[in-house]
Structure 1
Amino acid sequence: MMLKRFEVTNFKQFNSLKWDFSKVRNYDFSTDCLIDLPCGKLIKTALVYGRNSSGKSNLGFAIFDIVQHLVDKVTRPDAYLYYANADHPDDPVSFKYTFELDGKELLYQYTKTSPLELVQESLYVDNEEVFSWNQKTNTSNFRNLSSFGFKNLNFVYKDSKLSFLRYLANNSPLSENSPIKNLMDFVGSMLWFRRVDTGNSFMGLLSVSDNLDSFIISHNLTEKFENFLNEHEVKERLKVAKSPDGREGLYFAHQQALPFFSVASSGTLALTVLFYWYELLKINQPSFIFMDEFDAFYHFEVAEKIFNLAKKLNIQTILTTHNTNLLKHANTRADCCFLLQNEVIKPFSDLTQREIREGNNLEKLFLSHEFEC
Structure 2
Amino acid sequence: MTMLKRFEVTNFKQFKSLAWDFSKVRNYDFSMDCLIDSSHGKFVKTALVYGRNSSGKSNLGFALFDIVQHLVDKIKKPDAYIYYANADHPTEPVRFKYTFLLDGKEVVYSYSKTSSLDLLGESLFIDNEEVFLWDEIKKVHRFDRLSSFGFKNLNFVYKDSKLSFLRYLANNSPLSQDSPIRKLMNFVGSMLWFRRVDTGNSFMGLLSVSDHLDSFIISHGLTEKFEKFLNEHDVKEQIKVAKSPDGREGLYFAHKQSLPFFAAASSGTLALTVLFYWREALEMNKPSFIYMDKFDAFYHYEVAEKIFNLAKSLDIQCILTTHNTNLLKHANTRADCCFLLRNEIIKPFSDLTEREIREGNNLEKLFLSHEFEC
TM-score exceeds 0.5: yes
Whether 2:356 is the aligned partner of 1:355: answer: yes
> Does structure 2 conserve the Cα–Cα contact (< 8 Å) formed by 1:158 and 1:167?
no
Whether 2:164 is the aligned partner of 1:163: answer: yes
**How does the TM-score come out when normalised to structure 2?**
0.99
Q: CA deviation at 1:154?
A: 1.3
SS of the residue 2:283 aligns to? coil
> Structure 2: how far apart are the matches of 1:273 and 1:203?
14
Aligned partner of 1:168: which letter?
A: L
* Residue in structure 1 matched with residue 36 of structure 2 by the alignment: 35
* Residue in structure 2 matched with residue 301 of structure 1 by the alignment: 302
Whether 2:135 is the aligned partner of 1:134: answer: yes
Q: CA deviation at 1:161?
A: 2.1
* Residue in structure 2 matched with residue 7 of structure 1 by the alignment: 8
* Residue in structure 2 matched with residue 336 of structure 1 by the alignment: 337
* Residue in structure 1 matched with residue 261 of structure 2 by the alignment: 260
Deviation readout 1:327-367 (Å, 9 max, x if unpaired): 00000000000000000000000000000000000000000
> Structure 2: how far apart are the matches of 1:189 and 1:72?
11
> Does structure 2 conserve the Cα–Cα contact (< 8 Å) formed by 1:328 and 1:362?
yes
* Residue in structure 2 matched with residue 271 of structure 1 by the alignment: 272
> Structure 1: how far apart are the matches of 2:330 and 2:238?
35
SS of the residue 2:284 aligns to? coil
Aligned partner of 1:138: which letter?
A: K
Bigger shift: residues 156-165 or 302-311: 156-165
Whether 2:180 is the aligned partner of 1:174: answer: no
Deviation readout 1:279-322 (Å, 9 max, x if unpaired): 00111101000000000000111100111011101111000000
Q: CA deviation at 1:198?
A: 2.9
> Structure 2: how far apart are the matches of 1:173 and 1:261?
46
Aligned partner of 1:182: which letter?
A: K
Q: CA deviation at 1:156?
A: 2.2
SS of the residue 2:70 aligns to? helix
**How does the TM-score come out when normalised to structure 1?**
0.99
Any unmatched runs of 5+ in structure 1?
A: none
Deviation readout 1:38-81 (Å, 9 max, x if unpaired): 21111110000000000000000000000001001111111001
Pairs within 5 Å for 1:1-373 = 1-156=2-157, 158-373=159-374
Deviation readout 1:184-203 (Å, 9 max, x if unpaired): 00000000000122322000
Aligned partner of 1:312: which letter?
A: S
> Structure 2: how far apart are the matches of 1:158 and 1:310?
42
Deviation readout 1:249-268 (Å, 9 max, x if unpaired): 11111111111000100000
> Structure 1: how far apart are the matches of 2:154 and 2:327?
52
> Structure 1: how far apart are the matches of 2:188 and 2:159?
21
SS of the residue 1:281 aligns to? helix
> Does structure 2 conserve the Cα–Cα contact (< 8 Å) formed by 1:11 and 1:84?
yes
> Structure 2: how far apart are the matches of 1:335 and 1:220?
41
Aligned partner of 1:273: which letter?
A: V
> Structure 2: how far apart are the matches of 1:160 and 1:30?
46
> Structure 2: how far apart are the matches of 1:9 and 1:159?
23
Identity fraction in percent: 82
> Structure 1: how far apart are the matches of 2:312 and 2:157?
47
SS of the residue 2:113 aligns to? strand
Count of residue correspondences: 373
> Structure 2: how far apart are the matches of 1:233 and 1:328?
23
> Does structure 1 conserve the Cα–Cα contact (< 8 Å) formed by 2:118 and 2:161?
no
Bigger shift: residues 20-29 or 134-143: 134-143
Aligned partner of 1:210: which letter?
A: D
Flag as ranges the 4+ runs of structure 1 deviating above 3 A: 157-160
> Structure 2: how far apart are the matches of 1:192 and 1:32?
22
